[in-house]
Amino acid sequence: MQDLRNQPINTPLAEEVVKYNYADKMEEWQYQMSNQVNTLEELKKYINITPGEEKAIEETTARWGTTPYFASLMDPNNSNCPVRKQVVPSIHEQNNLYGIENYLVYKENRSGDEERPDTIARQYRDRIAFTVVNKCGIYCRHCFRKELVVDKSLQLRFDVDEGLEWIREHTELREVLVTGGDPLLLSDEKIDYIICKLREIPHIEMIRFGSRLPIVLPHRITKGLQRVLGRYHKVPIWLNTQCNHANEITEKTAESVWALLTCGVNVGNQAVLLKGINDDKKSFKELHQKLLNIRIRPYYVFYLEPAPGIDHFRTPVEKGAELIRDTIRGHTSGLAQPMYVIATKIGKIPLMPDYYIVEKDEEKYTLQNYRGEITTIPNIHEDETADSPLH
């Protein structure tokens, strides 16, 4: 109850949540999941819906909705609210200019030469994505896995044991990224099972979870889950979440991150660059500062992938690099700087700002800082270093 009072609550529903929870002994997160805000009627308790939003909801065949907690972070009177735009379907989802049909099959190399279980997506030699569920705490309108998660046009077989067996056979792997959907929506028992089984495989050196729940359902980080994640083990657990705007961060988020950190789980962020949500200087800088403020380390900012029906969120490719140049590097803590990447079917490709090297000749590099000031460093050639007294 205390937790929710710290939020901008737009609805009396939050109070009901607590009462029901108390009466029923259901965990808060389970209550939140079984009461997703995913009907027009429910949504109207949170926001004053516009005719355009109403039309989009009536016409969509895709999954949409989120937890009551995350819904309460929407601005009831502003349809441009950065939280609201990630939650509420838009009529623009019916347009498709740059999106690739069957995107996930294409992107995750699912139709390639290597035989793999449905749960395994592979782009690299030493690590794979292990897709264990197709449910989420929010059905993000910009989701690049939308064919699996939002539209449900792609059906995968979530056979965890089959996936584990494949991982066991592939001794070149050293890391498994457990993803979905949202893997933290599985029960504590199921998560415990996956972690234990992975840790039994001698070549697996680390486990990474991808979960939006610390942001959209921070209540999920319960004492029970802490027990599952928190035992000391030489195979560490890392977690990357997704937060796209500072308005998604509350006291409750900070507490859930602390709960993860105190049981030894490092928390990073993977944001998506979204037009009209975080592609302005103020939002971009604030997001990254606030993430650090609650102990989340910015890891990636993704250029929007070419999944179908999400073009209305698309920015020019250079945008992310420009925002890092203009608001992060030099302007604020270096720890706040994410790597800007485009995720492609041949892996993630960094697209960082390239203003630093103004000139390069045989003798020196001329470098520029964030203020446009110039300095030089010598241009060292490989063959010279070989003879240098330092080597």
Ligand X SMILES: *Cc1c(COP(=O)(O)O)cnc(C)c1O
Residues at the contact surface with ligand X, assessed by CB under 6 A: 121-124, 127-129, 177, 348
Closer to ligand SF4 by Cβ: residue 143 or 273: 143
380 burial (CB, 10 Å; 0-12 / 13-18 / 19+) is exposed
Tokens of 118: 């449905």
| Shortest separation between residue 155's beta carbon and ligand SF4, angstroms | 16
Candidates 120, 128, 140, 301; binder of ligand SF4 (CB under 6 A) is: 140
DSSP class of residue 390 equals T
Query: Of ligand X, ligand SF4, none, which one sits near residue 186, judging by CB under 5 to 8 A according to partner kind?
Result: none
Name the one range near ligand SF4 by CB under 6 A: 143-151, 243-251, 284-292, 343-351.
143-151
* Pairwise CA distance, residues 37 & 68, whole Å: 6
Q: Which CB atom, from 72 or from 86, has the smaller least distance to ligand SF4?
A: 86
Q: Tell me: does residue 136 bind ligand SF4 (CB under 6 A).
A: yes
The two three-digit tokens of residue 312, written as one number: 């209305």
161 by Cβ neighbours in 10 Å (0-12 / 13-18 / 19+) ranks as exposed
Closer Cβ to ligand X, 121 or 136, answer by number: 121
Rule CB under 6 A: say whether 229 interacts with ligand SF4.
Answer: no
- Compose the 144-163 pattern: x for residues touching ligand SF4 by CB under 6 A, - for all others: -x---xx-------------
Closest CA relative to residue 78, chosen from 105, 49, 98: 49
Q: Does 70 bind ligand SF4 (CB under 6 A)?
A: no
Let me know: does 11 contact 256? Beta carbons within 8 Å: no
| Dihedral angle, C-alpha 15, 181, 238, 159, nearest 10 ° | 130
- Using the minimum distance from each CB to ligand X, give the nearer residue, 129 or 150: 129
* β-pairing verdict for 175-179 and 127-131: parallel
Interface with ligand SF4, residue 139, by CB under 6 A: yes
User: Measured between alpha carbons, how far is 176 from 162 in angstroms, rounded to an integer?
Assistant: 14
Q: In what order do the strands lie in the sheet with 127-131?
A: 120-122, 127-131, 175-179, 206-210, 237-241, 266-272, 297-302, 339-344, 347-350
Beta carbon nearer to ligand SF4, 43 or 149: 149
Cα–Cα distance for residue pair 14/170, rounded to 1 Å: 47
Q: Which stretch binds ligand SF4 (CB under 6 A): 11-19, 116-124, 132-140, 217-225?
A: 132-140
Cα–Cα distance for residue pair 233/217, rounded to 1 Å = 26
For residue 371, the minimal CB distance to ligand X (Å) is 31
Name which of 263 and 304 has its Cβ closer to ligand SF4.
304
Nearest to 127 by CA among 67, 66, 208, 57: 208
Give the up-direction half-sphere exposure of residue 94: CA atoms within 13 A in the CB hemisphere: 9
Least distance (Å) from ligand SF4 to the CB of residue 150?
6
> If contact means CB under 5 to 8 A according to the sort of partner, which of ligand SF4, ligand X, none does residue 138 touch?
ligand SF4
Query: Which range in 102-110, 141-149, 168-176, 330-338 contacts ligand SF4 by CB under 6 A?
Result: 141-149
Q: Which of 89, 99, 117, 181 binds ligand SF4 (CB under 6 A)?
A: 181
The nearest distance, CB 320 to ligand SF4, in angstroms, is 17
Q: Which stretch binds ligand SF4 (CB under 6 A): 136-144, 187-195, 200-208, 244-252?
A: 136-144
Tokens of 300: 């990636």
By CB under 6 A, tell whether 207 contacts ligand SF4.
no
Shortest CB 345 distance to ligand X, Å? 9
Residue 181 interacting partner from ligand SF4, ligand X, none (CB closer than 5 to 8 Å by kind): ligand SF4
* Residue 110 binding: pick among ligand SF4, ligand X, none (C-beta 5-8 Å cut-off by kind): none
Give the SS3 label for residue 162: helix
Nearer to ligand SF4 by Cβ, of 231 and 275: the residue is 275
The H or E element spanning position 122 is strand 120-122
Contact residues for ligand SF4, defined by CB under 6 A:
136, 138-140, 143, 145, 149-150, 181-182, 212
